[in-house]
Structure 1
Amino acid sequence: MSSSNKQKLFLHNHPVSSYAQKVRIALREKGLEFDFATPQALGSGAADPSLSAQNPRLEVPTLVDGDFAVFDSTIILQYLEDAYPENPLLPKDAKEKVRVRHVEEICDTTYEAINWAFGEVNVFGRAEGEEKEKLQAEMKRQTIEIQTWLEAQLGDRPYFDGETFGYGDICVAPIYNRSVVKAPADSKLDLWYQRIKQRESVKKTFGEFEEGLKAFKAMGGAFTKGKGLRREYRDYRLEFMVKSGGLGVVRKGIEEGTVRFGWPEGGPAREKSSL
């Protein structure tokens, strides 16, 4: 679809979601007009009519383009590259495309799971004492290991895409911005971070994140005090918690009905959430 046939897109969104931030940055880089809003009851696992018909997983981001809907941030970015080819985000070279897609995969799974766990422990208070200390130590250790790998992918380039800001940078930006620990000052990763924060698409998106984070933190124990909200432990999030000493957190959340898993949910989880 050429820019001459542009229509305003709509994004089911949450300002704190790293995946939704990734899509907002991409839309802004492509110069596409869009509206966005957070679906009602997001995080409860309940069917929101504004979202359920377009995404059975009831997750953000979900992008609506006319009568067509796309979910999953990676698939959304692929769709934007195909449907709106002007201002391309991906490198032209096939090997470079694979490299930035590897970066995306690590950030969207392994790195995101650590950031997620940090919120579970420090915002929603799911762990205390020795269990909390052990989880936080693992968060820091594993984050530093991932950052070392990311620096190797960045190399001597100013951006993950090379000489220009692009796909890889969009995928790293929201994950790193929310990171448990940051790279040392004046390291390659830190200099990259200082550079991208000056870019208008990133600056605007990070500003929305900061505003959304205030409300997110104010929710406090909403997920752990029987208020009907249930955190979704996707596969890589569950893996981090189990391998890092947080199995008790998951077990308690299942017992209390404050943890859910992806669509379609299993019978025991649905029965527990309705108690």
Structure 2
Amino acid sequence: MARTVYFGSGSPYSWRVMLAMELKGLEYEAVELHFSKGDTQSAEHLARNPRGKIPVLIDGDITIYESTAIMAYLEKTYPEVPIFGADAREYALIWQRYAELENYLGNTISSILAPIFRGEAEGKDAEIKANLEKLKAELETVHGWLSGAGYIVGDSLSAADVTLYPQVALLRRVGPRLKESYGADFLNFEEKFPAFLPFMARIEALKNYDRTYPTHWRAAA
């Protein structure tokens, strides 16, 4: 059965879906859509997702959008390599952590980076610094989850792990800029949050990890 993932480079929602598919060992074609070219608003893409967002998964005659729905579909359809745990306890805890990463860590990151990336940060230093304090607290919480076993839940990678990874990868990429502009010294992961490093290494050891890596990050390297 042919599978195609439509993604945007650097989109954490796209990245988590592709990492989940790699974790499950699924074959798929990855088609990049460029925001700057208006690809997500084309008639062709709006036929896939009328909201004009990514990612979108086409699996045979099934089309799914929204990364959470895609992850749930993958788990139900391809259960051989589970990403939502081995029993009811793990299932609930992984969904709980997934929601926490989405609603707290993810939203805090967006509140910091959105005005910066949009060129709207002028005059918002106090707001951004306050959100950086929230970010520090969220990272401390997640670091606690990882300390010890090195996985968010249980003893293997899960949907929660592939949700966290793009968030941390983005923070490591923009950390020097946030440190220079707003004094965010805590984004030195090697010193402040060392448990993130072996966690990231586990994700990066996935067989086809490189194909998930944001294309524009690679081009800028």
Q: TM-score normalised to the size of structure 2?
A: 0.79
Pairwise CA distance, 1:169: 1.0
CA contact (8 A) 1:100 1:167 kept: yes
Counterpart in the other structure of 2:149: 157
Pairwise CA distance, 1:207: 5.3
Name the CA shift for 1:209/1:147 in 2 (closer, same or farther; >3 Å). Answer: farther
Counterpart in the other structure of 1:256: none
Counterpart in the other structure of 2:213: 206
CA contact (8 A) 2:40 2:53 kept: no
Deviations 1:7-63 (A, max 9, x none): 221112102100000000011111211112234667969742222222222110111
CA contact (8 A) 2:9 2:214 kept: no
- Of 110-119 and 55-64, deviating more is 110-119
Q: Give me the CA root mean square deviation.
A: 2.8
CA contact (8 A) 1:21 1:205 kept: yes
CA contact (8 A) 2:145 2:151 kept: no
Counterpart in the other structure of 2:65: 71
Are 2:144 and 1:137 aligned?
Answer: no
CA contact (8 A) 2:189 2:196 kept: yes
Q: Distance in 1 between matches of 2:91 and 2:114?
A: 33
SS of the counterpart of 2:63? Answer: strand
Pairwise CA distance, 1:114: 3.0
Pairwise CA distance, 1:137: 1.0
- Of 113-122 and 78-87, deviating more is 113-122
Name the CA shift for 1:196/1:102 in 2 (closer, same or farther; >3 Å). Answer: same
Counterpart in the other structure of 2:194: 187
Matches within 5 A, 1:169-248: 169-179=161-171, 181=187, 183-185=189-191, 187-206=194-213, 208=215, 210-211=217-218, 214=220
> How many equivalent pairs are there?
206
Deviations 1:80-117 (A, max 9, x none): 11111222222112122221212211222332233334
Counterpart in the other structure of 1:225: none
Name the CA shift for 1:171/1:137 in 2 (closer, same or farther; >3 Å). Answer: same
Q: Distance in 2 between matches of 1:28 and 1:72?
A: 18
CA contact (8 A) 2:6 2:32 kept: yes
Are 2:94 and 1:100 aligned?
Answer: yes
CA contact (8 A) 2:3 2:27 kept: yes
- Of 66-75 and 16-25, deviating more is 66-75
Q: TM-score normalised to the size of structure 1?
A: 0.65
Q: Supply the AA of the counterpart residue of 2:148.
A: D
Q: Distance in 2 between matches of 1:194 and 1:136?
A: 30
CA contact (8 A) 2:8 2:14 kept: yes
Are 2:48 and 1:54 aligned?
Answer: yes
Counterpart in the other structure of 2:15: 21
- Of 82-91 and 108-117, deviating more is 108-117
- Of 75-84 and 116-125, deviating more is 116-125
Identity of aligned residues (%): 20
Q: Supply the AA of the counterpart residue of 2:207.
A: E
Name the CA shift for 1:182/1:9 in 2 (closer, same or farther; >3 Å). Answer: farther
Larger Rg: 1
Counterpart in the other structure of 1:167: 159
Counterpart in the other structure of 2:29: 35
Name the CA shift for 1:197/1:31 in 2 (closer, same or farther; >3 Å). Answer: closer
Consecutive unaligned residues in structure 2, runs of 5 or more = 176-186
Q: Distance in 2 between matches of 1:43 and 1:182?
A: 34
